[in-house]
Amino acid sequence: MSQPTEINLGVTADLHVHLRDGEMMELITPTVREGGVSIAYVMPNLVPPITKIDQVIRYKKNLELLAPKTTFLMTFYLSRDLTPELVEKAAILKVIKGIKCYPAGVTTNSSAGVDPNDFSDFYPIFKIMEKYNLILNLHGEKPSTNHDDIHHNNSHDDNEHIHILNAEESFLPALFKLHQDFPNLKIVLEHCTTKAAINAIEKINSKNVAATITAHHLYLTIDNWSGNPVNFCKPVAKLPSDKSALINAAISGKPFFFFGSDSAPHPLSKKSTHVNVCAGVYTQNNAISYLAEIFQNFDALDKLKNFVNDFGKNFYNINDSDEIIKSKDTVILYQEKNQVPQLIKNDLIGDESLVVAPFKAGEELNWNVKWRAS
Amino acid sequence: MSQPTEINLGVTADLHVHLRDGEMMELITPTVREGGVSIAYVMPNLVPPITKIDQVIRYKKNLELLAPKTTFLMTFYLSRDLTPELVEKAAILKVIKGIKCYPAGVTTNSSAGVDPNDFSDFYPIFKIMEKYNLILNLHGEKPSTNHDDIHHNNSHDDNEHIHILNAEESFLPALFKLHQDFPNLKIVLEHCTTKAAINAIEKINSKNVAATITAHHLYLTIDNWSGNPVNFCKPVAKLPSDKSALINAAISGKPFFFFGSDSAPHPLSKKSTHVNVCAGVYTQNNAISYLAEIFQNFDALDKLKNFVNDFGKNFYNINDSDEIIKSKDTVILYQEKNQVPQLIKNDLIGDESLVVAPFKAGEELNWNVKWRAS
Ligand SMILES: [Zn+2]
Ligand SMILES: [Zn+2]
């Protein structure tokens, strides 16, 4: 099949981004647009987590100052700091679009998260979310059990344990239960990494339950991050069969699979360390180009616009004509050799140590993006 | 069961050590004895690999200068540089005790290794080894397939691929075939990490086929090395069920399971990096103490002497009265709080960057070792 050399992807959306705060925010926020993304759904895992109305308004304003043409959709961090009243007020004021749920302790700044074995304390909040069409974004992993505690020697059944390979699959029953208890609540299983998760979303087969897929999980398997902390993220990339299932889902044309990069920048010093490497892969500055490469390899470039535009925006009920959209410029994907920089840095920012190693640093991609004024 | 507070472990043996060369050798070689090991079986993966008689004699002499009371047993690196004539000569001269086989490309300095899908080119060498009772030491992993090459999207069968989780299990048929073709050849499956490998050794159930087990694989699972490059080694630590199988084998009292630490020092700079982390965990300076902790947890301290002394030495046909034994001092394991240092370093060595992060740096162990003159 002959491939087009230029594709208008429209007003694109990345429904899972980490923009941090402080100098890292200054460095990273402009790269959303550089990477070909118009609408960014912003994660709330700052320190402290975003759980207050004035806090989320201030954060959004800071982001808009750094990238006036990017549309930022904001989120709260699900924790005991939230109340149904607060969530209702935030919904009415339209300051948040959804709420992110982190199981306690599974990834960067998730220590304030919840126990995925029992969401019932949060049911009053989910009721309000359902009423106001707020999205519930799930980091779908159970926390690993502490293997050091296992001092009896006869536990040969891996299903007794939660480890990084079964953490996502072990979470899926909680997803089914949430959907059953709140059939009208819009739920996104974020950055899914397993064939089991893909199968679960297809089985639920609802207009209210979707999954985001990152760019890097379309490339990586366990071999790529073992020994390469730059590729280490949570959930970890898994086996070849899982990667295949993710690719098939991304190019399937099914509306419940859409793009969320989970681009998660960390200072290089937190990735180049022999202990406690921060989890996260930074892909923002070439987000769409990484995807194009994979879609091209599988003869599916015609499915890319659905994945990075229509499906996510439909699920989130976003229209290009909405007044919240900051710019109606469209993204043009075109064939051009495009070398990923070795480091993301900004000489204007004082701290020289604030550099980020991007995914596939130094490698050459076949696609680039440019913007066309609306 | 009440535990003894002091155990005489005799003339101990660690049947898989990496002592490197140059300044790293100077730093590490004395730590064999510090860790409670008398006899060390030395791996040949230097640059260039050890494949010559004068080279192995020189290397051994250097090691003995650094640690006169340690007995070093030497090995060749299986490659096309070896000939049956050379191996026969080395056997007659007694300059080597065995030959280490690395599949090409699986770990540190293994690029000169062999293709584990077909050992037949080396059969004339194995014949000579069988004749002279040389040990064949196998790094039992198949090299990972290059997942990037897989551009068709329907390969949902992980058994089509070799990845770091199935690399050892995929190697086991080659072990069975080697034993079948050379039933009198002594073969050691090194640093095994899976229940499948343990089961294979038990199934073969021969006085000529054994497996070494490291200290760190009795502690680690995949969760411990993901995000902690200090714990990353090849083969990688696997699932909780695999760790349980290794512990059960180590404390089983079965003579074909014995200690090989695979202590593999790397400069800290090669572990603290976001790409291409060197594989290897350094455990040498507390080798026996790490083991004692596990054996105590499983009420099996009475099995420790077999594991670190009799079983390995019997397999290797080593007696304490042999003239090759440099010192008949015995190792006393005793209860004492013993903090693992943050870094292994030597102020006498010029290069300040030559430091090694040990396993469980900074943690407190319950056992220490001392030497008793014979
Ligand atoms: Zn995320
Ligand atoms: Zn080794």
Output the domain CATH number for residue B74.
Answer: 3.20.20.140
C-alpha span between B148 and A107 (Å, rounded):
27
Q: Provide the pLDDT for residue A347.
A: 75
Q: Is the pLDDT of residue A322 over 80?
A: yes
Ligand positioned closest to the Cα atom of B190: 2
**Residue B150 pLDDT class (50, 70, 90 cuts):** very low
Query: Sheet harboring B209-213: ordered strands across?
Result: B75-77, B98-101, B135-138, B186-189, B209-213, B257-259
Give contacts of B225 with chain A, Cβ < 8 Å: 226
Mean pLDDT of A256-271: 97
How many whole angstroms from its chain centre is CA A263? 7
Kindly report the nearest CA distance between residue B247 and chain A, in angstroms.
7
Count CB pairs under 8 A between chains A and B: 135
Residue A356 lies in a domain: no
Residue A294 lies in a domain: yes
Give contacts of A357 with chain B, Cβ < 8 Å: 274-275
C-alpha span between B54 and B75 (Å, rounded):
13
C-alpha span between A131 and B127 (Å, rounded):
77
Question: In which domain, by residue range, is A168 found?
Answer: 13-146+162-328
- Which segments of A216-322 does DSSP mark as H helices, in order? 222-225, 240-250, 268-271, 287-297, 304-305, 311-316
Average pLDDT, chain B: 94
pTM of model > 0.90 = yes
Tell me the CA–centroid distance for residue A207 and ligand 1, in Å: 23
- Token pair of A328, please? 């109606």
Residue A52 lies in a domain: yes
Residue B356 lies in a domain: no
Q: Is the pLDDT of residue A69 over 80?
A: yes
Task: Tell me the HSE value of A168 on the side-chain side, using a 13 A CA sphere.
Answer: 24
Residue B350 lies in a domain: no
Q: In this prediction, what percent of chain A has a pLDDT beyond 70?
A: 94
Tell me the CA–centroid distance for residue B19 and ligand 2, in Å: 10
Q: Provide the pLDDT for residue B45.
A: 96
- Residue A102 in contact with residue A45, Cβ under 8 Å? yes
Residue A349 lies in a domain: no
Give contacts of B169 with chain A, Cβ < 8 Å: none
Q: Provide the pLDDT for residue A4.
A: 73
Residue B200 lies in a domain: yes
Q: Which of B151, B247, B273 sits opposite A297 (nearest CB)?
A: B151
Is the Cα dihedral B244, B341, B274, A21 positive or negative?
positive
Q: Provide the pLDDT for residue B82.
A: 96
Q: Which of A228, A236, A251 sits opposite B276 (nearest CB)?
A: A228
Q: In this prediction, what percent of chain B has a pLDDT beyond 90?
A: 87
Residue A27 lies in a domain: yes
- Residue B311 in contact with residue B13, Cβ under 8 Å? no
Indicate the number of domains in chain B.
1
